[in-house]
Amino acid sequence: MGRAEIHELSAAYALDALEGNDLEAFEEHLARCAECRENVTTFQRVAAELAYDVDAPEPPAALRNRILDQAASERPKVVPLPRRRWAFPVAAAAAVAAGIAAVGLAFWAADLSQQLDDVQAEQHRANEALIALIDPSASHFALEGADGVLVVDAETAEGSLVISGLESAPSEKTYEAWVIEGDQAVPAGLFSGGGNQTVVPLTVPVPEGAIVAVTVEQAGGVDQPTQQPIITSEQAA
Amino acid sequence: MGRGLAHLSDEALVALVARADEEALAELYDRFGRVAYGLALRIVRDPALAEDAVQEGFLAVWGSATRFVAERAKASTWILTLIHRRAVDLVRREQPRRAEPLDAVPHESGDDTEEEAWLRLRRGRVQEALKGLPDKQREALELAYYGGFTQSELADRLGEPLGTIKSRMFSGLASLREALAEEEFEEEQWEEPRSTS
């Protein structure tokens, strides 16, 4: 299959119109092709809009109960996440790996082989940060320069930035987060932005009185900020 | 409900589902169960099969929420993709010959709730966007998405080369993406459409 042709399959894939060898070949391609992943992302979003062009009668009330009952009986399939942010239990990793093989949604299982661990860790951290948003024991601090919030766990001082609608970092550049106390800036993680929501678990704690800032730096990151921050948080209290 | 999950984003609910939170799953069902059922019904055209598709789809949500990445996709897209996948699998298994017209059966609706109004508005926008497509592109998209036909089945059915069908689906979705990007759904920005070179 030619290059142009396999790119076109991102549409058929988003419509679930691929089967058998075509599906396998495209999923393999997808794991390697960022452009197709981007197309699949937006095409799936368009396809999901098509779901609204239907008559939508109320489903039978019994269906809701059946689903919830069965979910309750299948609890063991779901791995409860630990409070500690960085740990990811071995059992969970195995369950996720098995699930990926079973479901075959290559897009969410992108970068199957060597990056599986990264993907799991990313998902795990992103989930934890979203949960922190609704955790009453977490403190929230406003951001200037972006639509979002700094979330800090009151007990552990672990922090995350949750930013909406942040553009992707320019090519050859990265976003770098900093925890700044007085005149000391400590690198707190690199990220690339893009997408609806960017969740950045900070790699160092956010002590009382510190602020968190984000600069745009050379890809790979730097030890000390070389640019003016584009995003700053209020002082963590 | 008690806990008041109604104010949470879809994505936060999926994060809770990943922690085996049954109430969060119930809230997601209350948000998407109706459109999921409508979609499944249009595809499988049998109420009992549609229920199966919705049930399997929501159980897939339950079982794989730990793998959902909010940075990569909207939760609503993810959920409806899982439902669609299940419905298409079922219709391919159960109805090897799907030659009948695919028009959905109109349903009687006496009440006019806020949800109905919202669904109608949303449906109108999609229909408007679909209307803007060349007939052949629209036909290919509708047969694939609502009919559950694979690209090879489509090529056979329409008597066109497979390559033509692939291009048609790609151009159709790309145009639809552009048309929908001009609308503002839920006050959110759509990404700039990308072209494939």
Q: Which CATH number is B21's domain given?
A: 1.10.1740.10
The answer to whether residue B2 sits within a structural domain is yes
Residues of B within 8 A of A100 (CB-CB) are 67
Are B78 and B135 found together in one domain?
no
The answer to whether residue B189 sits within a structural domain is no
Are B85 and B42 found together in one domain?
yes
Q: Is the distance from CB of A222 to CB of A176 less than 8 angstroms?
A: yes
Q: Where do the CATH 2.60.40 domains begin and end in chain A? A: 138-233
The answer to whether residue B119 sits within a structural domain is no
A138-233 belongs to which CATH class? mainly beta
pLDDT digits (tens, 9 = 90+) for A50-86: 999 998 889 999 999 999 999 998 864 444 443 333 3
**Cross-chain Cβ contact B123/A54 below 8 Å:** yes
The answer to whether residue B3 sits within a structural domain is yes
How far is the first Cα of chain A from the last one, in angstroms, to the nearest whole number? Answer: 58
Dihedral class, residue A19 (left if φ above 0, else alpha if ψ from -120 to 50, else beta)? beta
d(CA A122, CA B108): 46
The beta-carbon neighbor of B55 closest among A50, A66, A165 is: A66
Are B156 and B66 found together in one domain?
no
The beta-carbon neighbor of A52 closest among B67, B107, B119 is: B119
Residues 6+ apart with CB under 8 A from B41: A54, A55, A57, B47, B50, B104
CB atoms within 10 A of CB B155: 18
pLDDT digits (tens, 9 = 90+) for A8-41: 999 999 999 999 999 999 999 988 888 998 999 9
| Full residue range of the structural domain in which residue B178 is found | 124-182
The answer to whether residue B161 sits within a structural domain is yes
Chain B residue at shortest CA distance from A38: B194
The answer to whether residue B67 sits within a structural domain is yes
- Is the pTM higher than 0.80? no
Are B88 and B160 found together in one domain?
no
ipTM of the complex: 0.87
Confidence (pLDDT) at B97? 47
pLDDT digits (tens, 9 = 90+) for A114-164: 344 455 555 666 666 666 666 666 788 888 888 888 988 877 888 888 888
The answer to whether residue B150 sits within a structural domain is yes
Chain B residue at shortest CA distance from A132: B12
The answer to whether residue B118 sits within a structural domain is no
- Total domains, chain B: 2
> Among all chains, which residue has been given the structure tokens 């992108």?
A110
